[in-house]
Amino acid sequence: MMNSGDVFNYSSDLIDEIESVNTNFSVILTRWQHNGEIRNPGNISELESGKFPFCHQAMFIRRGHFYNSNLRIFGDMELLARIYKAKSSCFYYSQHVVADYEGGGISSQASLRKRFERVLIVYFYFGFQGVVKLVKGALNVSSR
């Protein structure tokens, strides 16, 4: 899903890679560009502590997986957490830079709704331990 101001970087090499990826992969995570800097997706296990080091504009999700429409901000995070917890699904990391991401959307703004959704997802999929990791991570960031 692209937002206004975002640009999809199409290449035949990317299409060839996507078509050749084993069907066991549910999600293809790619690199993206933001403010002239190329960024790499993080490790999927970072979801366990409430981090989302991905860009939804730079993900390809296999058919049959759907966003939770009750979540207004972190539907992409919840979807990845659900696939990750299924354990039968795999993630594929591509070196292609797929999107020029403008940023500035609703998920970049601080809000109570954003915090609520993140904590809800982490608690639901990773339990109290995940919430503790999330809070510790937030305290470390804010104390720097």
Q: For the stretch 45-63, what's the b/e string if a residue is b when 16 or more beta carbons lie within 10 angstroms of its beta carbon? A: eebbbbbbebbbbbbbbee
pLDDT at 46: 94
**Highest mean pLDDT: which range of 22-31, 103-112, 123-132:** 123-132
**H helix count then E strand count, the chain:** 3, 5
Q: For the stretch 13-31, what's the b/e string if a residue is b when 16 or more beta carbons lie within 10 angstroms of its beta carbon? A: ebeebbeeeeeebbbbbbb
In tens, the pLDDT along 49-92 reads 999 999 888 899 988 899 999 998 999 999 999 999 987 668 99
The letter for the amino acid at 139 is L
**Residue 75 neighbours by CB under 8 Å, 6+ apart:** 67, 68, 69
Report the predicted TM-score, pTM, of the whole model to 2 decimal places: 0.84
Domain-wise residue ranges, the chain: 7-142
Q: Is the pLDDT of residue 134 over 90?
A: yes
pLDDT at 144: 43
pLDDT at 141: 65
